[in-house]
C-alpha cells in the first residue's frame, strides 16, 4: 500500500437481494460502507433491478444472477459501470471464489451449497445464514471449512446466540443447548384449523421479517427442525442434548445449559442485523443502530413445550439426527419440494410433513455420503420421490 489508509475488508454476499442479503448491506453501511469495505461480488436471482442497484451503490467488482436467462438484462442494467457480470451456477462459483476474506452465505435452499462450499474451500470466513449447507452436507461441509482454515460464523439467530454464549474453554461442561422458537402464526391453532391454512396466512410471521420460504418453514416448524440438525453439526452435539422451547416473544434467541445448572442466554430485539453484525465484526462487537430491549415494556417472557403432534417436523428432525447418514439431506430436499407444492396450492400445510416423512422412510437405507457428489445425487433422488408423492396426493 502506498498511503497510510487502513486496508479495506473485502467481502462477498451470496444472495444479496434477499432478506438476509439486504440486512447485511444495511449493516455494512452502518459500519462505514465503501470507506471500510470493498465488495468483491454480489449475487441474486430474479430481482435484477435490485441486484444492479446494490452493485452500483457498493461499487462491487462482480454481479451475478443465478438465472442464466437474466444475464443480458443484468449486463445492460450495469453497462458502462465497469462492473463485471456473470450468470448461472458457474457464475455463482466464480463469485464465491473471488478473493474476499469474508463471505455471507445467504442464498436460500440447497442452491447455496455449491457456492458456499467453494468459498469455504479457499479459506474464506463464512457467515452462514444458509442453514441447508449443514442440514444436507453436515460433516462434509464442516470438514471443508476446517480444511480451508476459515472461521464458520453462524448467522441464524439461534445459532448466533449459542455461539455468543458457548464458552470455548468450558465446552466439556456443556450439557445441552436450548433452541427457542416463536411458535409461528399457528402456535395456538388446532390441528383441524391447520389443515386448511394457505401460504398467505402461513407467511405472516409474528416477530421476524424474513423471506417467503423461511417464513412458511417457521409456521410449520420445519425451520426449527432444520435448526436442530444445524446445531448438531455446528456445535458437535448429540441429538439428546438439543432441546426446543417455544418462546413467543422471540427475545431470548437461544441458550446453553452447563453442568453446574447455569443457563446462559443471548437476548435482544428480533432483528437479524445483530447476528449479522456479530458475524461481520467477530471477535469484536460492532456499534449498531438497532432497537434496544426495554425490559419494563416487555414485562414478561413466556415459555411452553412444543407440540410435536401439530408440529411433526420436530419429530422428523430427531429421527434424521438419530438415523444419521443422509437423512438430513433427504429431509431437507423432500421438504423443499413439499414447500413448493404448498406455496403453489398443490398440497396442504400438514401434508408437507407427511410427504417428507414418506421420502425419509423410502430412502432409509441410503448410506452416508463420502463426497459432495453423493449429497447432490441423494438430494436429486429425494426431490424426485417427493414430487411423485406430492403429485399422487394432489390427484387423490
* Cβ 199 vs Cβ 342: under 8 Å: yes
* Of the candidate residues 39, 95, 111, 317, the single one contacting ligand NAD (CB under 6 A): 111
From the CB of 263, what's the least distance to Mg ion, in Å? 19
The DSSP output letter for 185 is T
* Of the candidate residues 31, 53, 201, 208, the single one contacting ligand NAD (CB under 6 A): 208
Give me the 141-180 binding string for Mg ion, x by CB under 5 A, dash otherwise.
Answer: ---------------xxx----------------------
Distance CA 302, CA 353 (A): 27
With binding defined as CB under 6 A, does residue 156 bind ligand NAD? Answer: yes
From the CB of 180, what's the least distance to Mg ion, in Å? 9
**Range in contact with ligand NAD (rule: CB under 6 A) among 15-23, 95-103, 233-241, 282-290:** 15-23
> Using CB under 6 A, which residues numbered 121 to 140 contact ligand NAD?
129-132
Q: Which three cell numbers stand for residue 204?
A: 405472516
Distance CA 308, CA 306 (A): 6
Distance CA 200, CA 91 (A): 33
Of 44 and 328, nearer to ligand NAD (C-beta) is 44
Distance CA 269, CA 336 (A): 29
With binding defined as CB under 6 A, does residue 174 bind ligand NAD? Answer: no
With binding defined as CB under 6 A, does residue 19 bind ligand NAD? Answer: yes
Of 128 and 358, nearer to ligand NAD (C-beta) is 128
Distance CA 123, CA 151 (A): 8
Q: Bridge-partner residues for 180, per DSSP? A: 245
The label of the residue with cell 439426527 reads 321
Strand ranges inside the chain, DSSP E: 9-14, 37-44, 62-65, 84-87, 102-105, 125-128, 152-154, 174-181, 242-246, 252-258, 263-267
Residues that bind Mg ion (CB under 5 A): 156-158
Residues that bind ligand NAD (CB under 6 A): 15-21, 44-45, 66, 106-108, 111, 129-132, 156, 208, 210-211, 214, 272
Amino acid at each position: 500500500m502506498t498511503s497510510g489508509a487502513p486496508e479495506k475488508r473485502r467481502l462477498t454476499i451470496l444472495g444479496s437481494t434477499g432478506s438476509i442479503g439486504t440486512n447485511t448491506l444495511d449493516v455494512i453501511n452502518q459500519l462505514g460502507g465503501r470507506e471500510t469495505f470493498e465488495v468483491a461480488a454480489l449475487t441474486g436471482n430474479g430481482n435484477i433491478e435490485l441486484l444492479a442497484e446494490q452493485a452500483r451503490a457498493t461499487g462491487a467488482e462482480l454481479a451475478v444472477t443465478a438465472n442464466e436467462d437474466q444475464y443480458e438484462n443484468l449486463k445492460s442494467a450495469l453497462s458502462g459501470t465497469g462492473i463485471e457480470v456473470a450468470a448461472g451456477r458457474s457464475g455463482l462459483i466464480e463469485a464465491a471464489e473471488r478473493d474476499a476474506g469474508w463471505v455471507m452465505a445467504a442464498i436460500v435452499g440447497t442452491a447455496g451449497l455449491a457456492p458456499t462450499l467453494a468459498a469455504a474451500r479457499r479459506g474464506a470466513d463464512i457467515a452462514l445464514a444458509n442453514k441447508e449447507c449443514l442440514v444436507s452436507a453436515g460433516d462434509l461441509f464442516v470438514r471443508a471449512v476446517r480444511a480451508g482454515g476459515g472461521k464458520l460464523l453462524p448467522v441464524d439467530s439461534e445459532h448466533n446466540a449459542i455461539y455468543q454464549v458457548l464458552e470455548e474453554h468450558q465446552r466439556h461442561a456443556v450439557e445441552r443447548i436450548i433452541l427457542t422458537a416463536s411458535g409461528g402464526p399457528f402456535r395456538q391453532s388446532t390441528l383441524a384449523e391447520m389443515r386448511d391454512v394457505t401460504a398467505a396466512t402461513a407467511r405472516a410471521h409474528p416477530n421476524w421479517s424474513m423471506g417467503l420460504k423461511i417464513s412458511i418453514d417457521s409456521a410449520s416448524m420445519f425451520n426449527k427442525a432444520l435448526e436442530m440438525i444445524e446445531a448438531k453439526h455446528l456445535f458437535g452435539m448429540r441429538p439428546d442434548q438439543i432441546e426446543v422451547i417455544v418462546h413467543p416473544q422471540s427475545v431470548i434467541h437461544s441458550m446453553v445449559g452447563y453442568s453446574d445448572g447455569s443457563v446462559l442466554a443471548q437476548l435482544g430485539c428480533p432483528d437479524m442485523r445483530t447476528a449479522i453484525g456479530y458475524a461481520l465484526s467477530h471477535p469484536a462487537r460492532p456499534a449498531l443502530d438497532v432497537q434496544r430491549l426495554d425490559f419494563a415494556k416487555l414485562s414478561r417472557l413466556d415459555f411452553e413445550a412444543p407440540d410435536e403432534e401439530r408440529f411433526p417436523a420436530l419429530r422428523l428432525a430427531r429421527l434424521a439426527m438419530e438415523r444419521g447418514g443422509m437423512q438430513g439431506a433427504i429431509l431437507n430436499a423432500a421438504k423443499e419440494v413439499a414447500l413448493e407444492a404448498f406455496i403453489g396450492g398443490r398440497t396442504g400445510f400438514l401434508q408437507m410433513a407427511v410427504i417428507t416423512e414418506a421420502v425419509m422412510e423410502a430412502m432409509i437405507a441410503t448410506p452416508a455420503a463420502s463426497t459432495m457428489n453423493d449429497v447432490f445425487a441423494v438430494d436429486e433422488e429425494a426431490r424426485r420421490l417427493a414430487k411423485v408423492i406430492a403429485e399422487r396426493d394432489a390427484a387423490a
